[in-house]
């Protein structure tokens, strides 16, 4: 099979066929390695899955490429996606307490202000296009006018995903998605004394989590203007992270994802897992211009504060005065 000749030729560049460098592919294989005494073998299964992701092809086309039955491709795709999700923390995990200072320093450098040294993540939601189910179709229609599943993510200053929460239909507001995530419900992140950055679609909060948003435009005075500028420089890394992930897997993620909505969250989560493995192994790329533009669409209106929330406006004012 030509595709396997490429894999076994150690001099061949894998990126055209698999969208991963050889080093990153070997890292994926190691992370997903298990004791297995039957089936096709995890190495071949990972190759089939990543090839399917890289090209957004039907199962029957991938079956021809690897010279295996279509039913095998279907089984392998579901098996590998499920296994990645069960082992997501091998690549997607919140920083340890000892690592928080370095994460904060990264955001201070990214924003260009030491006032942001307590920032340990940027949060946002991204809409992944899907083919909606016949039932509850309208639930998946988002405010941008297409059918989607919402992916919430928090990333560090390098664009590495620290936490993901995938599965809510596209009609659900980003704030509602956040409030149903464990990040918010059990105050899992950020730790006390640390801050997340979010866009204007989120509320500015002190509790239950500390989430700083920009001042509404037009701003009042130069202090608010400087804060918004530095905030945007720090927060934009999450948009870049989504852009890089969608660019790498654009054949799957930048068109309607052709799997059932119940399976789509596993596919999306596996793309985030692979995104981190690539960053960890120096496999970098720039987001395509059309993908980046897709992320700049207008935001939905901000929801009011809930009874269990306290406003972060005073904290934001103190932070702005330090910028």
Using one digit for the tens of pLDDT, what is the confidence trace for 7-26?
999 999 999 999 999 999 99
Residue 245: CB partners within 8 Å, gap ≥ 6? Answer: 253, 271, 272, 275
* Per-residue pLDDT, 255: 84
Residue-wise pLDDT tens digits, 72-91: 999 999 999 999 999 999 99
- β-sheet with 211-212: strand ranges across: 161-169, 148-155, 119-129, 195-197, 211-212, 205-207, 310-311
Diameter of the chain measured on Cα atoms:
67
pLDDT (average), residues 248-261: 91
Q: Domain-by-domain residue ranges, the chain?
A: 2-90, 99-322
pLDDT, residue 115, reads 97
* pLDDT > 90 in the chain, percent: 87
The predicted structure's pLDDT at residue 37: 45
Residue 287 above 80 pLDDT?
Answer: yes
Q: In this model, does residue 60 exceed pLDDT 90?
A: yes
Does residue 299 surpass a pLDDT of 80? no
pTM: 0.95
Q: What is the pLDDT of residue 258?
A: 86
Rounded mean pLDDT, 184-190: 96
Confidence of residue 33 (pLDDT cuts 50, 70, 90): confident
Residue showing tokens 């307490």: 97
Which pLDDT does position 41 carry in this prediction? 84
DSSP 136-165: TGGGGB-TTSSBEEEEEEEE-TTS-EEEEE
**Residue 227 in this model has a pLDDT that exceeds 70:** yes
Rounded Cα–Cα distance for residues 143 and 299 (Å): 9
Mean pLDDT across the chain = 94
Which residue carries 């929330």 as its tokens?
Answer: 309
Residue 294 has pLDDT above 90, yes or no: no
Specify whether the CB–CB gap between 114 and 108 falls below 8 A: yes
At 104-151, the pLDDT tens digits run 999 999 999 999 999 999 999 999 999 999 889 999 999 989 999 999
Task: Look at the alpha carbons of 314, 107, 177, 149 in this order and tell me if their dihedral is positive or negative.
Answer: positive
Q: Do 23 and 277 meet the contact criterion of CB atoms below 8 Å apart?
A: no
Backbone angles phi, psi at 311, to 5 degrees: -65, 145
3-state DSSP percent of the chain in helix, strand and coil, to 5:
50, 15, 35
Q: Closest Cα to residue 86, out of 243, 248, 273? A: 273
Encoded tokens for 36 = 């297995």
User: What's the CA gap between 304 and 315, in Å, rounded?
Assistant: 18
* Helices 42-55, 59-66: crossing angle, 10 deg rounding: 130
């Amino acid at each position: 099979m030509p595709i396997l000749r490429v894999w076994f030729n150690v001099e061949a560049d894998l990126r055209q066929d698999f969208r991963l460098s050889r080093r990153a592919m070997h890292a994926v294989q190691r992370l997903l390695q298990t004791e297995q005494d039957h089936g096709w073998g995890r190495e071949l299964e990972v190759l089939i899955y990543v090839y399917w992701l890289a090209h957004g092809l039907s199962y029957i086309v991938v079956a021809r490429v690897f010279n295996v039955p279509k039913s095998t491709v279907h089984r392998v795709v579901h098996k590998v996606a499920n296994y990645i999700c069960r082992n997501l923390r091998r690549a997607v995990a919140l920083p340890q307490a000892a690592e928080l200072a370095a994460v904060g320093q990264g955001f201070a450098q990214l924003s260009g202000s030491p006032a942001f040294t307590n920032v340990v993540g940027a949060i946002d939601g991204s809409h992944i296009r899907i083919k909606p189910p016949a039932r509850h179709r309208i639930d998946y229609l988002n405010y941008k006018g297409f059918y989607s599943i919402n992916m919430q993510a928090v990333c560090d200053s390098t664009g590495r995903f620290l936490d993901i929460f995938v599965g809510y239909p596209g009609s659900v507001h980003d704030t509602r998605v956040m409030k149903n995530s464990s990040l918010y419900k059990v105050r899992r992140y950020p730790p006390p004394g640390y801050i997340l950055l979010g866009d204007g679609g989120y509320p500015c909060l002190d509790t239950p989590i500390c989430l700083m948003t920009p001042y509404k435009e037009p701003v009042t005075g130069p202090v608010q203007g400087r804060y918004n500028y530095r905030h945007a420089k720090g927060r934009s890394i999450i948009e870049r992270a989504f852009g890089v992930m969608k660019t790498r897997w654009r054949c799957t993620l930048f068109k309607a994802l052709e799997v059932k909505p119940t399976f789509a969250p596993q596919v999306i989560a596996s793309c985030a897992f692979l995104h981190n493995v690539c960053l960890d192994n120096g496999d970098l790329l720039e987001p395509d211009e059309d993908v980046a533009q897709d992320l700049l669409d207008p935001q939905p209106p901000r929801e009011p504060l809930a009874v269990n929330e306290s406003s972060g406006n005073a904290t934001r004012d103190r932070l702005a005065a330090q910028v």
